[in-house]
């Protein structure tokens, strides 16, 4: 019999998964998903696993999360999209993967297009 997690335990599990996404520890991250963590889980700032993996240039984790059905357009609490974060950081491979998965380049504030223009990375846009 599975015992439901307390709110504090759930918060801790989400925090651990967010760290795995940041660090690109894809295998371990996928184990969390296999055990029931929603692929679009969010931290206290509204960041998703995909947002953190994208921002930190973790191409393998991004591909795995997209493959598991992560919403490529979910924005965080600051209205930032994963593709805009990847553009800001100059993560070309991540940008390509998110665009291929259908990321909206006009969503969020700033949008991915605006971020690319602001930071001189328009060469990363399709």
Residue range 26-85, pLDDT digits in tens: 999 999 999 989 999 999 999 999 999 999 999 999 999 999 999 999 999 999 999 999
* 22 contacts 34 by C-beta, under 8 angstroms: no
Structural domain including 77 reads 7-124
Inter-residue contact 73 to 104 (CB < 8 Å): yes
Which tokens in the block code for residue 65?
């999360």
Give residue 94's pLDDT band: very low, low, confident or very high (50, 70, 90). very high
pTM of the model: 0.93
Would you say residue 110 lies in a domain? yes
- Is the pLDDT reported for residue 106 higher than 70? yes
Report yes or no on 2 lying in a domain: no
Residue 86 within a domain: yes
The rounded distance, in Å, linking the Cα atoms of 4 and 70 is 24
Closest listed residue to residue 51, CA positions, set 9, 12, 79? 79
Domain assignment present for residue 1? The answer is: no
CATH code at position 63: 1.25.40.20
Our count of domains for the chain comes to 1
């Amino acid at each position: 019999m599975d015992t439901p997690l307390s709110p504090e335990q759930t918060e801790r599990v989400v925090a651990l998964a967010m760290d795995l996404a940041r660090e690109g520890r894809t295998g371990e991250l996928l184990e969390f998903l296999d055990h029931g963590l929603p692929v679009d889980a969010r931290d206290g700032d509204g960041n998703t696993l995909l947002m953190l993996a994208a921002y930190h240039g973790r191409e393998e984790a991004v591909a795995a999360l997209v493959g598991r059905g992560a919403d490529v357009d979910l924005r965080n609490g600051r209205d930032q999209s994963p593709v805009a974060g990847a553009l800001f950081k100059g993560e070309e491979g991540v940008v390509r993967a998110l665009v291929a998965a259908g990321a909206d380049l006009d969503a969020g504030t700033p949008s991915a297009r605006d971020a690319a223009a602001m930071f001189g990375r328009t060469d990363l846009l399709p």
